[in-house]
Amino acid sequence: MSVLLWAAMAGLGCVHSHHMTLSGDFDLPAELSEARTVKAEASQSVIMGFAKNTDYAKDAYERLGATCTNGTVTGIQTRYSTKLGFFSWENHIKMWGYCFD
Partner 1 sequence: MKALMMVFALSTVGCTHMRSLSVTTIPQDRSQPVEAVADRVIFFGINASNEYVDVLVDRLAEQCPKGKVSGLLTRTERSLVFPLVAHRVSVRAQGFCVAESAGAE
Partner 2 sequence: MFSMMFALVVSGCMTVHSVQLGDVDSTVVREGERFEIKLSAIGFNTEEIAELVKIAASSRQAQKRVESVEDTVAMFQQGPRTGDTVVDPRFSDRMRDELRKRCPSGRVSGLMTIRETADYPGLSGEIVKLIGYCGGDQ
**Residues within the interface to partner 1 (CB under 8 A):** 19-20, 22, 24-25, 27, 29, 49-54, 57-58, 61, 64-65, 68, 70-76, 78, 80, 91, 93, 95, 97
> Could you say which of partner 2, partner 1, none residue 93 binds, taking C-beta under 5 to 8 angstroms by partner kind?
partner 1
Q: What is the SS3 string spanning 27-69?
A: CCCCCHHHCEEEEEEEEEEEECCECCCCHHHHHHHHHHHHCCC
Among 50, 52, 81, 101, binds partner 2 (CB under 8 A): 81
Q: How remote is the C-alpha of 59 from its chain's centroid? A: 11
Closest distance between partner 1 and the C-beta of residue 57, in Å?
5
> Could you say which of partner 2, partner 1, none residue 58 binds, taking C-beta under 5 to 8 angstroms by partner kind?
partner 1
31 binds partner 2 (CB under 8 A): yes
**Residues 61 and 32: beta-carbon distance below 8 Å:** no
**Residues 99 and 37: beta-carbon distance below 8 Å:** yes
